[in-house]
Chain A
Amino acid sequence: MNYTYILLILLIPLAVFLLLGLFNKKIKPAISGYIGVFGLLTTTVFSFYTAFQYFFVAGKVDGAFPVLGQKTVWMNFTESLHIDMGFLIDPISVMMLIVVSTISLMVHIYSRGYMKGDEGYTKFFAFLSLFTFSMYGLVLATNLFQIYIFWELVGVSSYLLIGYYYTKESAVAAAKKAFIVTRFADLGFLIGILIVGYYTGTYDFETLNNPEGSPILNWAATSFMGLSVLTWGLILIFIGGAGKSAMFPLHIWLPDAMEGPTPVSALIHAATMVVAGVFLVARLFPMFYFVEDGFALQIVAFVGAFSSLFAAIIALTQTDIKRVLAFSTMSQLGYMMLALGVSGYDGHDGLGYMASMFHLFTHAMFKALLFLCAGSVIHAIHSNYLKDMGGLRKYMPITNITFLVAALAISGVPPFAGFWSKDEILAAAFEHNKLLYAVGIIVAGLTAFYIFRIYFGIFWGKDRQYEHTPKESPISMTFPLIILAILSATVGFIPFPDFISPDRMGFEAHLNVPLALTAVIVGFLGILLAWIFYKKETDLATKVTQQLGVFYTWTFNKFYFDELYLYITKNILFKGVATSAAWFDRNVVDATINAIGNSTVGVSKKIKGLQSGRVQDYALAFVTGVVVLALVFIYIWTI
């Protein structure tokens, strides 16, 4: 089956970006909206077609889904070490194609309504297409360097989109923060890539991930400070992934990234870009599992679990609904990392891997839906804060229902999608490490609580008097909400284990009823608690806040991590490193260059006297030259 048409999936968004970017002012906004949506619709159709072909028509070869793709050598470091460019088709990349296309298409349609009337409308769609192109490139990458290139491109698109309202200082600062933090993490990523490439002799994913291939078999060949160098390389690569997926302590950029328009938050910071880190670990999963008996994988699991808990606690107290959703994303990403961390490799042991990818899939649906609903509410009320909202169920029925569907999904209520994926994660964690299971259960409860806190806070609670009566959003915005709601409700029934597993062979999974029941009960407890606190208007919440006192303040201020980082950057980096570097640059480097220039001018001033304009001087030089030449030729250099 010839998959070369997949290049079209990559090139159509790129073409849309170039078209809209270059002809920005000349295209009418309505047209650019249609161009963006149409481009994405085409790629979505192609993605679905690919998935259909790959999973159903071509199916398994020798019991496992084949790894296909095409690549060409792009740049040679040495004879054997080279960077290729191409695309790689395997189960998770096809799955990601579907996720990215669907969410991106929904966000494009939604943006037509949300960004209407905005000045940079065409620019917005251009950036969205750029992002989609970068994300496709990332999931289809065949080797570490190619994924790094698209990784950076995704970072750039994120920067452009967060800083979209470029006249707002906070947005510009947030964009810089996001880019710098992820760039810093990418330094680790790059060093990890170089280490892995140097010690295994290849960057190619197929070779690296082969359990019988030389990279994995010879992992113990070189070691450094007690661990294999490959382990260090994988840890560094994970640091890159942790930066992009907002794991602790590189999470500080994600709440600030909410300064961007809500469709951006839905697309990038909920469903697609932030899962790049998870995707990276999944992509290199055989290496993570086999090298040093999964040492790096342990680190992944614990970082994921901690981030998950950390974010869930902070999300309990935030009053900006987008910030709540941002921390919720961080928490769910922690879940995905946790699931990867507790996974095995063969057959049923790969439950964690499958659960992580399943959760990625379902989370994309309902988190994007949550963000788009929040955007719909913000669009109607023109405020992000809970205190300005209440009783909106009367005015915005569709948003109400779809938000409820998404909230039920994220809380793990059957039969919605979140229940199935979260249950698999908890089952995998239970089999592997009870502590991680406990963390997972607690986070599940907290998730249900904070999501329903904002649900009740927005749509129930006190009936406020609004200056402009909020109306339901236009059809361009509610249509994606409805589609995503349907998907959130139904995708849980896809038999994921048949398709996605570490060894690509698929396995039989069955529902662990006791664990599932526990998770559902915890979820309902969370919902109940939120009902008590928030459904009707009470001051129960305020009283509890006062009781908690200091603990509340700390949580509300996100444990002061932003302030800590700001302090370090200002006092240590700026004052210490940057000023001395600047001094050196100005006084040493510039001085050298200026000295060279000045000396040239000085020499020139001295010797310009040779061109005096006086014929006699020229004659003198002439005569002297002739005499000297005569001397030389007659007496000194006799031929």
Chain B
Amino acid sequence: MIQGITIYELLTVTSILFFIGIYGFITRKNLISILISVELILNASVINFVIINKYLYPDVLQGVVFSIFIIAVAAAETALAVSIIINLYRQISSVEVKDIETMKY
């Protein structure tokens, strides 16, 4: 644990990061920007796991290992997302959100 820092402050930071990610996800109009916001959200949750592992259960390592898995899955997901964006770009020559609104009323 970090000397002098309570768990509350850390969790505050992660919460703020999480909601910034959500804000970005809903507000941005570019597909890659949305991807970046998703990365922010994922990172926030990773820090959460790690903090709780370190502060509340310092003798076990489940949090860390799980974080490794989260990072691995995030990497895979980002790779696939990028490939989909490339494919979509090839079809409609745009990565704007407003051009992919076809499944609507």
Contacts and interface: CB of A to CB of B under 8 A. Distances in A.
Contacts of A620: 26
A608 B105 CA distance: 6
A623 B104 contact: no
B79 interface: no
A615 B103 CA distance: 10
B105 A614 contact: no
A417 B34 CA distance: 108
B101 interface: yes
B104 A616 contact: no
Contacts, number: 29
A626 to B, nearest CB: 10
Interface in B31-81: 34
A616 B101 contact: no
Contacts of B25: 616, 619
A611 interface: yes
Contacts of A608: 105
B6 interface: no
Nearest to B104: A613
A80 interface: no
A471 B40 CA distance: 111
Contacts of B28: 616
Nearest to A604: B105
Contacts of B105: 608-609, 611-613
Interface size, A (range): 10 to 19
B93 interface: no
Contact of B26 (A611, A612, A623): A623
Interface string A485-510: 00000000000000000000000000
Interface residues of B, number: 13
A623 B102 CA distance: 23
A140 B88 CA distance: 84
A614 B103 CA distance: 8
A619 B37 CA distance: 13
A616 B26 contact: yes
B101 A614 contact: yes
Contacts of A613: 101-105
B22 interface: yes
Contact of A612 (B22, B27, B34, B101): B101
A623 B22 contact: yes
A165 to B, nearest CB: 58
A619 B27 CA distance: 10
Which of A612, A613, A620 gathers most chain B CB within 10 Å? A613
A611 B104 contact: yes
B97 interface: yes
A611 to B, nearest CB: 5
Nearest to A624: B26
A616 B97 contact: yes
Nearest to B22: A623
A612 B100 CA distance: 11
A383 B71 CA distance: 107
A178 B89 CA distance: 80
A619 B104 contact: no
A459 B34 CA distance: 109
Contacts of B104: 611-614
Interface string A443-464: 0000000000000000000000
A520 B97 CA distance: 109
Interface in B1-45: 22, 25-28, 34
A614 B97 contact: yes
A619 B34 CA distance: 12
10 contacts: A608-B105, A609-B105, A612-B104, A614-B97, A614-B98, A616-B25, A616-B27, A616-B28, A616-B97, A620-B26
Given A612-B101, A614-B104, A623-B26, 5 more contacts: A608-B105, A613-B101, A614-B98, A619-B22, A619-B26
